[in-house]
Amino acid sequence: MHTETDLETMLLGPVLADRACGDCTACCTVLTVDTPDFKKPAGTPCMHLASHGCGIHAVRPHICRTWFCAWRRVADMPDEARPDRSGLLVSLNFEHEPRNCFEGVSINVRALAGGDAIENGMAATILDSLCDRLIPVWFSNGSKKMLMHPENDVAHLVLSGEAAPAHLQNEVAAWRERYGVFAANG
């Protein structure tokens, strides 16, 4: 979890009034939290996580009050995509030392351990709903991470700096313009 809430609102949209976490506590286990007042490592249940949810809900840290996964913000994601139901946790990812321009700010679709989102088609449904905007999308399953959007030919042109063919020129230029700032590290 990160504190770039305004950027999350700008890129993913505001938190939707009709979406609630309910019994989901996926982010309380899966994600790293690294804020001045609260830290936890990735892949480890938070020390405050109880059988009924957050054990300190009324006084939970600021980051827990203000951070929401993409399912809470993106109306195009289906209701069934809630992380505890779908086995997929989708969030905006901020990489402070990106290896290339698609890593600085991106959407990360994480397949949770034990889920069957690839087999039942939910992963494809969610990716379809996210891969239509000017935000890189990665899919990770714990052991590997793959760039899903933009497509390989566009990504190659953006990263290589090669001249794009006419039908891709606008798209390649748009990616370079928005994310070129991250290219210095890649």
Piece of the chain touching ligand SF4 by CB under 6 A; list 82-90, 123-131, 140-148, 177-185:
82-90
Q: 69 vs 172, which CB is nearer to ligand SF4?
A: 69
Q: Does 172 bind ligand SF4 (CB under 6 A)?
A: no
Q: Which one of the spans 63-71, 73-81, 138-146, 162-170 is the region binding ligand SF4 (CB under 6 A)?
A: 63-71
> Does the protein bind ligand SF4 through residue 117 (CB under 6 A)?
no
Q: Does residue 28 interact with ligand SF4 by CB under 6 A?
A: yes
Helix (H) and strand (E) counts in the chain: 7, 8
Q: Which two tokens stand for residue 151?
A: 């497509």
Provide the strand spans (E) within the chain.
33-35, 38-40, 49-50, 53-54, 88-94, 105-111, 137-140, 145-149
Task: Please identify which residue in 2, 8, 11, 27 interacts with ligand SF4, judged by CB under 6 A.
Answer: 27
Our finding on whether 85 is near ligand SF4 (CB under 6 A) is: no
Which of 66, 142, 155, 154 has its CA nearest to residue 103?
Answer: 155
With binding defined as CB under 6 A, does residue 56 bind ligand SF4? Answer: yes
CB of 30 to ligand SF4, least distance (A): 8
The answer to whether 69 contacts ligand SF4 (rule: CB under 6 A) is yes
Alpha helices in the chain (DSSP H): 5-12, 26-30, 62-66, 83-86, 122-130, 152-160, 169-179
| Residue 150 sits in the site that holds ligand SF4 (CB under 6 A) | no
Q: Characterize the bridge pairing of strands 49-50 and 137-140.
A: unpaired
Q: Give the integer Cα–Cα distance in Å for 166 and 162.
A: 12
Q: Identify the residue whose tokens are 């370079």.
A: 176
Nearer to ligand SF4, 24 or 74 (CB): 24
Q: Rule CB under 6 A: which residues touch ligand SF4?
A: 21, 24-28, 46, 48-49, 54, 56, 60-61, 64, 68-69, 71-72, 82-83, 89
